[in-house]
Every structure is written in C-alpha cells, then in structure tokens.
Structure 1
C-alpha cells in the first residue's frame, strides 16, 4: 500500500509542470524585483535588496506551509472538483496582468474559481473532458469552502512570517509638500498543495493521471501550484509591527471562515456563500488597513534633531553595526547631525572609524561603532529621507 501511495505522489507531483501558474509566478516575482530596484534607485540612488530578493522569497516558506496543508487536505479527504482548479488557475493568470498583486490572495482567486466552477458544472458548460470531473454532486462543495479557509490561514502565516522581511522604502510628498517616507511590501509566494480530485473522468483521457480509491471511490492526486499575492504600504508605524498585525488579522479571518465552512456540510450549497464572504471579508481587511494608514501620522518624517533611518543596505557597514529601520542617528563621531550633509561631513572627521549615537525605537540611546575600510559603502549603507527628490522623479 505504501508503494502505491508513493507512486501516486510522484505522479501527482509531475502535474505541477503542466500548470502555467507554476512558471508565471517566477516571471512575476522577477518583474516585481526589477521594478522595486528601479524605484529605489530613483528615490535613494541605491537599492536596498537586490533584484533577486523577491525570487528568493517565492518558494521556501510556501513549500513548508504547502506540505502541512497537503497533509490536512489528504487526511481529511477534502475532494474538490477539477473545474475549480482549472478556473482558479485561469483567474490567477488574468489577475497577474493587473498592477494589484494583492488580488492574487486566495480569498479572491479560489473563491472566484469555486463560483465559476459551480456555474460551469450546473450549466454543463462544454469543457474538454480532461478539464472536468465526473460524478460531481453538491456534497463536494463544502470541501472547497474548507480549502478556501485553509488557504486564507496559510496566507496570513506567510504575511506574518515572510512579509515583514525586506520591506522597500520609498519617498513621497505629504499634503503640505513635505518630503516623507514610507515602506511598501509587494510579495508573491508559491504555495504548492496536493489535492484530491474525482478521478474517473481523468482516467479516460490518459494513463498519466494518478488514480487510487478511498472508500470505494476513485480519485486523482495532483499537486496544484497556488499563487499568493500580498501588497501593503505602511506610513504610520514600523513596517514589521504593522505587517505582523495585519497577518494575524488575516489568520483570524481564515479561522472564522473555517468554522463557518464546517457547518456548510449540513447545507452544501452554502459553500457559495462562504466564497462570497471570503471575498467581501478580505476586501474589508484591505480597506481597513488602507484607511488606517491614510489617517495615521507619518512615522518616517524629518526630525528636528537627528536623522531617521528609513532603510539599510544589506551587508553594508550600517547592517553590520545592526542599525534598524526606524532608529534615529543623533550624533556622528561626537557631532550632532540634523541633515545628510552634516552626517557625511561628520563622518569624514574620522575616515578610519565611525561612532554613532542612536535613538532606538524604544526611545533609548545606544552607541554603535565600527572601523571603516576602503571597500565599505561610502554612505555606510543608510537610507535617509532626502531633502528633495531628483527633478523628474515620481514619488508615487
């Protein structure tokens, strides 16, 4: 029996190569990385993370969470219609063409996939045989609702654990025309999950599809690469704190959906209501976050005393001195600083050594110091709020 399952897992894993979403997420992540680097160079004349950062975040955590979800879906016997998988992939590819990566959240893609799949099945749309499932009844839809809830929880975990890494600083003008800073995260994750699909129709088209029986019914096991998109702008607090809080709210929302989805087994058609609720609730969380940030006071703004750190270049002297985003540099080599010119003039007082007095995010003073070398970044790798952006650059 173990050998049979191993063979089916291997065959099911091969299905990921047939899904165009698997390839498009890599292209999209690479595009977001290049786009971010270009903007950072426009605003700060230097980039923070390199253009491959988004690609490096694409798989590791999503793969780990996907393994956990796969265990849950298979153990619980969650069987979803093939039509839902197909339409979710199609909707994902369409939404990738938009500038809003947040629309790739599972609450949108999976919910819309379920709604379209329901009408396709009920109206008997003339779909190719290899894109459909046989013997689909309303009893299969509660499992789809549970899957949506689980994916929303997974999204919240990705946001909380990974979204806070490598947030991108940017500059903009306030309503009063002052230069202020903010942070943006624009992230895409690949979340591969094994799903059970009604398999009898699939066996008619090709022997490639893995098929086995559970409880006397035939199912196919396939690995589906889901894309999970996330985008957030933070101007009123530290990025890590705001993103962690947002991720927790998404997790709580997913748990609520999961509780409601469990009750849907009594009324299978109510799964469509869960899909609608997922879309509305997720959009409400986005709206609430945007309104909160819009009304919040600017955290990254110029100070009367000192310079606020809005970004740190990885592996730079500032990074090695463990300077943090949100801290304020008040003195350089014993001299008080209030602007960038004063900072670099004071830095040149001792070209071989740098000692900084820093006000941390807890409003406590600490001192950091380090020897400077010829190969070090000439600006220590600290990104400050510029007095003015270069002419012709856009802040938005």
Structure 2
C-alpha cells in the first residue's frame, strides 16, 4: 500500500506541470513586475525592486503553506471531484481577463466554481474531451469543496500577513484637492500548490473510516493543483506593513469562520451553500471596509512642514544600508533643517564624503544616522520622497 501511495504522489506531482494555470500564473507574475517597474520609473525615474521581484515571490512560501493544507485535507479524507478543479481553473482564466488581480483569490475562483458546479450538475453539461465530467455528482461533494475553500482562504491570509508587506511599491497620485501625495501599492500574485484527493485511481483507503465522508468510490488518486492567490491593496493613511498585516489577519479569521460553517455541511448540506456565500461576501467586505476606512483618514505620505517623509527606499542603496525605513521623517541633513527635496540635496552636497541625518522614526522618537559616502554610491542616497509639484509635472510629461 505504501508503494502505491508513493507512486500516486509522484504521478500527482508530475501532473502539476501539465496544468495550464501553472504556466499562466508565471506569465501573469511577470506582467505584474514589468508594469510595476514602468509605473515606478514614470513616477520617480527609477524602479525600486527589479521586474523579477513578483516572480520570486510566486513560489517559496506557497510550497510550505500548500504542504500544510495538503496534509490537513488528505488526513481528513476530503475528496474533491475533478469537475471542481476544472471549473476553478476556468474561473481563474476568466477573472484574470478583468485585470483585477484581487479577483484571483480563492473566494472568487473556487467560490464561483462551487456555484457553477451546482448548476452544471443539474444541467448535466457535456464538455468536449470530458463528456462525463458533471455526471454522477451528488450533494456529498459540496461540503468537501467548501472545506477546501476555507483552508485556501486561511492560506491566503497567511500569504498576505507574511509576504504582503515585502516590497510594497511607492506610488504618486493626486489627492481630491489636486495635491501630489504618496501611497503604497501591493499588487501580488502567489501560487498555492495543494495535493487533492480525487475519486478513482490506484490507492485504497488506509483505514476503514477514511475517507470519513466517502461518496461511492473506494479508490482514489492524487493531483497537485496550483491555486492562484491574487492580492491588491493601496495604502494611503497607514504604514504599509501595518495596513497589509491587518488585512491578512481579517482574511485568516474569515477562513476560520468559513471552515467551521463548512464542516456543518457534512450533516446539513444546505450549510455548504452558506459557507461558500460567506467566503465570497466576507472577502469582498474586507476589501470594501479597508478602502472606505482609508478614504476617511488623511494621507500618511504627504508634504510636511517639519521634514521630509520617506516614501520609498531603493534596495542595496546607501539609505538601505543606513537602515532608514519607509514612513520615517528626515528633519536635518548635515546639521541643516530641510523641508523639501531641493533643500535635502543642497544640504547633502555640503559634505560629499559623509552624510549625517536627523530622523524622526515612526514612533515619534529622534535618532541620528550617518554614513561615509563612496564613489559609486547611489547619487541620491536611494530615498524616494513625495516630489515637488514642478518636478512631478515634468516626470508625468
């Protein structure tokens, strides 16, 4: 039995590379990186992270989270029909056409697949190459799908909390009053590979009670499925890390509540519909609440009279090596008080070999940072500020 399981796991892993979503997510992540770099160059004449940053974020954490979800789902004997996998992939492609990355979250892809599966099962749709895909489906499959949906939402929340704050992108926009202000944007795509247990195959249940809620088939197979996790957030009134992690916590809570409701579906199938609806509406509510809440607060990255707010830090630049942080305020440069970008660089030129900055940190405490400047160092220290209106207009033009 152990050998049969090992072989099926290998087969299921290999099928990952046959899944079109796998390659499509790599393509989309590359597009996100290129578009971000173009926008940053348009705003600041320089990019922050390179164009491959989004691609580098696509896999590593997903392998860890996906492994945990796979163990939980398989240990619980959660059986997912192939039809649900096909429909989830279909909605991943469809929602990507809208260019709204956030719609690639599990609540919208697998959630939509859940309701489409209910309709398709009633209509008994024949599909090319898969004429029997929606036949022989019964109500026992729906609780398993919503349990998986809940686990994926929890995984999404962990992604947002752990990886979302990394490499947030500074951005210049116009406020309602027509002033140039700074915001931070996270537009990220992650891949969450999860082993699913499908009915039919070569392996037999290891215990008499597994799967606990079987629906006819007594042999199973594994399939490693790449689920998309899309996330988009624009932060204007809080520090990026604080704002993103707050959303991550709320998504984890939503996933946990959805999980509790979805498990009740094994006894009361109608509850599964409530769990899927809760996932979709709850995820939309989190996004809407964050957006409305921030609109009622002042911009964090705006012009100040007592210094310059750091909007962004170029990686590996002198500013990065000086441990300057986004959200801190530079009040003095080489002993000279500064209020705008021009004054900052004029004061910096007073001593081309060394710079000393007086900084007000995010807790309101004063600290001093200094560093020798060497030939070849970034000519502007690697700090991005909210630009003056004239400079902003020339950058746009």
Q: Secondary structure at the match of 1:34?
A: helix
Match of 1:248 in 2: 249
2:222 matched to 1:221? yes
After superposition, where does 1:39-50 map in structure 2 within 5 Å?
39-50=39-50
RMSD: 1.5
Corresponding residue number in structure 2 for 1:6: 6
TM-score scaled to structure 2, two decimals?
Answer: 0.94
Instruction: Note the C-alpha offset of 1:269.
Output: 3.6
Deviation at 1:134, TM superposition (A): 6.5
Using the alignment, how far apart are the partners of 1:260 and 1:93 within structure 2? Answer: 28
Range with greater deviation from structure 2 (133-142 or 250-259): 133-142
Q: CA offset at residue 250 of structure 1?
A: 0.5
Matched, 1:109 2:103: no
What residue number does 1:207 align with? none
CA contact under 8 A between 1:197 and 1:220: conserved in structure 2? yes
Give unpaired runs (5+ residues) of structure 2. 209-216
Distance 1:172 1:131, change over 3 A: farther
CA distance in 1, matches of 2:157, 2:81: 25
Alpha-carbon deviation of 1:122? 2.5
Instruction: From the superposition, tell whether residues 350 and 31 of structure 1 become closer, same or farther in structure 2 (CA, over 3 Å).
Output: same
User: CA 1:130–1:359 in structure 2 vs 1: closer, same or farther (change >3 Å)?
Assistant: farther
Determine the C-alpha separation between the residues in 2 that align with 1:24 and 1:112.
19
CA deviation digits over 1:24-51, x for unaligned, max 9?
1111011001101111111111111111
Distance 1:211 1:27 in 2: 34
- Check whether the contact 2:314–2:382 (CA below 8 A) recurs between aligned residues: yes
Matched, 1:96 2:130: no
Task: Give 1:20 shift.
Answer: 0.7
> Matches of residues 205-220 of structure 1 in structure 2 within 5 Å?
211-214=202-205, 215=208, 217-220=218-221
- The separation in 1 between residues aligned to 2:202 and 2:113, in whole angstroms, is 23
CA contact (8 A) 1:81 1:133 kept: no
Work out the CA distance in 2 between the residues paired with 1:65 and 1:171: 34
Q: Tell me the residue number matched to 2:18.
A: 18
Superposed displacement of residue 158, structure 1: 0.3
C-alpha distance after superposition, 1:54-100 (max 9, x if no partner): 00100000111000001011101000111110000010011112221
CA shift, 1:188, in A, is 0.2
The match for 1:277 is: 278
Which ranges in structure 1 are unaligned for 5 or more consecutive residues?
Answer: 200-209
Which digits, 9 at most, give the CA deviation of each residue in 1:349-373, with x for residues without a partner? 1101111110000000001111111
Instruction: Answer with 334-343 or 260-269: which moved more.
Output: 260-269
Contact 1:86–1:131 (Cα < 8 Å) also in 2: no
Q: Deviations over 1:118-172 (max 9, x none)?
A: 2212221113438727743211211111111111111000000000100000011
Q: Aligned residue for 1:146?
A: 147
Greater shift in the superposed pair: 268-277 or 26-35: 268-277
Measured in 2, the distance between the counterparts of 1:272 and 1:131 equals 24
Q: 2:324: which partner in 1? A: 323
CA positional deviation for 1:2: 2.2
Instruction: Report the counterpart of residue 366 of structure 2 in structure 1.
Output: 365
Deviation at 1:270, TM superposition (A): 2.9
Corresponding residue SS for 1:186: strand
CA distances 1:8-30 after superposition (whole Å, capped 9, x unpaired): 11000111112111001111011
Alpha-carbon distance in structure 2 between the residues aligned to 1:278 and 1:48: 35
Q: When the two structures are aligned, how many residues end up with a matched partner?
A: 384
CA distance in 1, matches of 2:395, 2:346: 28
